[in-house]
Structure 1
């Protein structure tokens, strides 16, 4: 009897559920978007119960549309957004809304944790390059001081994947890849970080039972079976962080392989076989991989595809009303402009700059405008700006002695041939698109298959299901102009740092 695997992608603004055969072939996928709660400045929340309601609705829809009998679904796993914190009481009920990873209420607490432990210790324990309000430890400290009634009643601190596993199985189980950025887990000693727990005044008993990625967590409970339509014979398996699952689904988890995802943000992931030593001058994130003994370099920038979305909304409204595919129109215009956009350079920092600048005051800039520039130059300059961010990330990876044999492109940006060609020319690396459309869902399904014993391990599963996409090879003719433009991009940012500092909010 053919069996099926269920991959769940619990994203920041949408959930996806997808069924695959036990050979990794896609069967059916359903998706639903949702809107986060932002009633207060800097606060980003969502009702924890609504995450579960959304998942139940999607699984029922997936089963109905696919026609797959629930008893044929052998196992499932979750690919999860990172850092979203959920506080439960003794009975397993949420004490408040989930605090989303985007929430910045705990900036002062982040500063205090950094000052107390120091960036070097933080890195050596968690692999994180800095302490930001994103990390759950900072939010727990905020709760202790600003919402003591919740802090005192919290019996279970969970991240989103853990909460979904709990609702599916009734078990408090987590996996180690997702918890690396919590600042509560020592990724090298493979234990909860006792000094951090003591500093926050919490105990290990308030945290879930840790497992590796792709390990059995429990069977679907009778209660969850009734709510989702799943069979109680379906095994629930630990998944991984969405970026990790994306790399697994893309089949690019071996040292030397780098994936880049141009979605709303730019995320770059590189698997390495060692923990990279701390370097104050070159901060990176290097955390534990889903594969034991392997690590992942994670680099990101807040605004990439989001810049293109802003540009399309502001300057292509007429074409949108006329039914044009705006993004393909931008591609065509960018094709008409020469490499380097005739001296027009953009800083794409519309919401601050992350790696490697870590400057929340940075802002977007167009530089070099002349009377000769047209809209097509602005279209190309945006695509080039994201490619320059990518090159900075690649140079960081190579700067610590790691080899980058090629770049594998995922996300919406991979659908643009001109953008992929620009990335290849700017980075001087071969860029290959990933054939799989929903890499995170497939990555979660692969982990489910590992946990169910269908695949012997993650590496062999990845080799079995990975395919090839379009290949873009860098051209020598654009090398000089992109080296010059990339230099202008770096110099422009450095020159404007005092301005960002002086006039930033």
Structure 2
């Protein structure tokens, strides 16, 4: 062993930093959660500077607890949440709070972009199935019209990974995987999309320099070294979208392999060796992979683990104060309820719905409550709701002719045996957890190793570090009840679409 690799996971509600040997073995991990700002309906923000402060604090803690000398860390890379937009002025200072990807303020702007370009052109340029308020292009258009002073002063539009790379190196650098969903990058021509830039009235000079994933971005600057404790001899490497990094860390990046990550959101990823042609009847997202020439079918739902976090915070505060592990308590309660939660069905759309509904007006719903329902039924209904979202995603992948023989499960949800069993029963697929606990951190560390020349390429690195986890096989006796409950889930959403539209504001 010659040194260590640092993987950073900049998630939606938590940051993690992890050290690995140059052979991919975990050494030490630290994590810290944070709370997003939701001061206006539909707005979700965070102070941009606080992202950097949080990262500095975690790196210092990681170095102190691991005892690894900073000069032994060869390289680092970032696994990042997508779409969170940060506007900097000429001096590199944030002009406002970061606009989180969960923010829905730009719904009307999304509609205008969809009408102007058309869904087919949007898909062929970006690989995105639809235009939603999540995408940075819609937020830039909102800024232009609602906050013209910020729009006029913005010299640099960055996503979260880019901002952290800038703070680490002083360089404005990005990677192509993260920017696919910005609607600013043409994934098939490998260039900024000039017609979109013109429509938004911005220039390529306001965007970072693009690189591939796992490419050197620069060395840790003297300023960043002082703030983080890292050595200025540590190489900073471009990472990837968190879901992509998770697949890399799980070792599941080859065609035919499907992963699901239940973290704050639900993300489903399937690697393919072709760009899937546009189909109006079956809209999907198919964007560029971290591995050049490969694509990822990427499907996601806004709120998954975040629903459980909301539920725990609202209804388990007493147990939390008493020191119980709330999520294991929810698991135990869910175990006591029968499959199907005795007719209780939840729509988990607490921040709008993404794939395949693409409805920012959708809201969370519990349906079928009776006097016989207890807290255990609500606990199980939430776990089942996320499994229904997963089934919808799997059916989409199979609908375009891709085979799904099994599902590899990652994220915090993979630590729950009952949740994995429910997912297997609902989808009718074998669900296997991934042995690696923090896949996104490991994926980022692998990309750091590729950039530093430790691994010849991403595929070689993945084959070297992948392993196997727990296997959950569908229970045939639960199939009928889950087919019925899944049908109720679909019918419930469809029936409420007019209600969401009428009262969503």
TM-score when normalising by structure 1: 0.94
Give the direction of change, closer, same or farther, for the CA distance of 1:104–1:365 in structure 2 (3 Å limit): closer
Give the direction of change, closer, same or farther, for the CA distance of 1:37–1:374 in structure 2 (3 Å limit): closer
Query: C-alpha displacement at 1:314, in angstroms?
Result: 4.3
Give the direction of change, closer, same or farther, for the CA distance of 1:147–1:323 in structure 2 (3 Å limit): closer
| Cα deviation code 1:80-128 (max 9, x no counterpart) | 1111222223333333332222233322222221111111111110111
Q: Please say which of residues 32-41 and 299-308 is displaced more in the overlay.
A: 32-41
Aligned mates of 1:93, 1:379 — CA distance in 2: 44
**Contact 1:406–1:429, Cα closer than 8 Å, also in 2:** yes
Give the direction of change, closer, same or farther, for the CA distance of 1:453–1:275 in structure 2 (3 Å limit): same
Q: Please say which of residues 273-282 and 116-125 is displaced more in the overlay.
A: 273-282
**Contact 1:256–1:406, Cα closer than 8 Å, also in 2:** no
Q: Secondary structure at the match of 2:79?
A: strand
**Contact 2:102–2:302, Cα closer than 8 Å, also in 1:** no
Q: Secondary structure at the match of 1:32?
A: strand
Give the direction of change, closer, same or farther, for the CA distance of 1:36–1:378 in structure 2 (3 Å limit): closer
Structure 1: stretches of 5+ with no match in the other structure:
none
Aligned mates of 2:227, 2:104 — CA distance in 1: 34
Query: C-alpha displacement at 1:353, in angstroms?
Result: 2.4
Counterpart for residue 405 of structure 1: 405
| Cα deviation code 1:163-207 (max 9, x no counterpart) | 221222222211000111111100011111011111112221221
Query: C-alpha displacement at 1:2, in angstroms?
Result: 2.6
Query: C-alpha displacement at 1:77, in angstroms?
Result: 0.6
Aligned mates of 2:346, 2:99 — CA distance in 1: 33
Query: C-alpha displacement at 1:450, in angstroms?
Result: 0.4
Counterpart for residue 208 of structure 1: 208
Query: C-alpha displacement at 1:371, in angstroms?
Result: 4.8
Q: Please say which of residues 106-115 and 269-278 is displaced more in the overlay.
A: 106-115
**Alignment length, in residue pairs?**
505
| Regions of 4+ moved over 6 Å | none
**Contact 2:76–2:237, Cα closer than 8 Å, also in 1:** yes
**Contact 1:127–1:286, Cα closer than 8 Å, also in 2:** yes
Q: Please say which of residues 342-351 and 464-473 is displaced more in the overlay.
A: 342-351
**Contact 2:74–2:235, Cα closer than 8 Å, also in 1:** yes
| Cα deviation code 1:189-234 (max 9, x no counterpart) | 1111011111112221221111100011111222322222222221
Query: C-alpha displacement at 1:318, in angstroms?
Result: 4.9
Aligned mates of 2:50, 2:338 — CA distance in 1: 49
TM-score when normalising by structure 2: 0.94
Give the direction of change, closer, same or farther, for the CA distance of 1:158–1:372 in structure 2 (3 Å limit): closer
Q: Please say which of residues 7-16 and 65-74 is displaced more in the overlay.
A: 7-16
Q: Secondary structure at the match of 2:230?
A: coil
Aligned mates of 1:323, 1:494 — CA distance in 2: 41
| Cα deviation code 1:374-415 (max 9, x no counterpart) | 443333332222211111110001001111121111122212
Query: C-alpha displacement at 1:309, in angstroms?
Result: 3.3
Aligned mates of 1:148, 1:229 — CA distance in 2: 39
Q: Secondary structure at the match of 1:177?
A: helix
Aligned mates of 2:64, 2:52 — CA distance in 1: 18
Q: Please say which of residues 222-231 and 340-349 is displaced more in the overlay.
A: 340-349
Aligned mates of 1:53, 1:101 — CA distance in 2: 20
Give the direction of change, closer, same or farther, for the CA distance of 1:155–1:421 in structure 2 (3 Å limit): same
**Contact 2:102–2:351, Cα closer than 8 Å, also in 1:** no
Give the direction of change, closer, same or farther, for the CA distance of 1:478–1:194 in structure 2 (3 Å limit): same
Query: C-alpha displacement at 1:26, in angstroms?
Result: 0.8
Counterpart for residue 339 of structure 1: 339
Q: Please say which of residues 108-117 and 314-323 is displaced more in the overlay.
A: 314-323
Query: C-alpha displacement at 1:462, in angstroms?
Result: 0.9
Q: Secondary structure at the match of 2:292?
A: coil
Give the direction of change, closer, same or farther, for the CA distance of 1:170–1:318 in structure 2 (3 Å limit): closer
Q: Please say which of residues 475-484 and 458-467 is displaced more in the overlay.
A: 475-484
| Cα deviation code 1:270-309 (max 9, x no counterpart) | 1111111112222211111111111111212223223333
Aligned mates of 1:46, 1:376 — CA distance in 2: 34
Give the direction of change, closer, same or farther, for the CA distance of 1:273–1:260 in structure 2 (3 Å limit): same
**Contact 2:59–2:228, Cα closer than 8 Å, also in 1:** yes
Counterpart for residue 422 of structure 1: 422
Q: Please say which of residues 466-475 and 103-112 is displaced more in the overlay.
A: 103-112
Give the direction of change, closer, same or farther, for the CA distance of 1:499–1:214 in structure 2 (3 Å limit): same
**Contact 1:391–1:427, Cα closer than 8 Å, also in 2:** yes
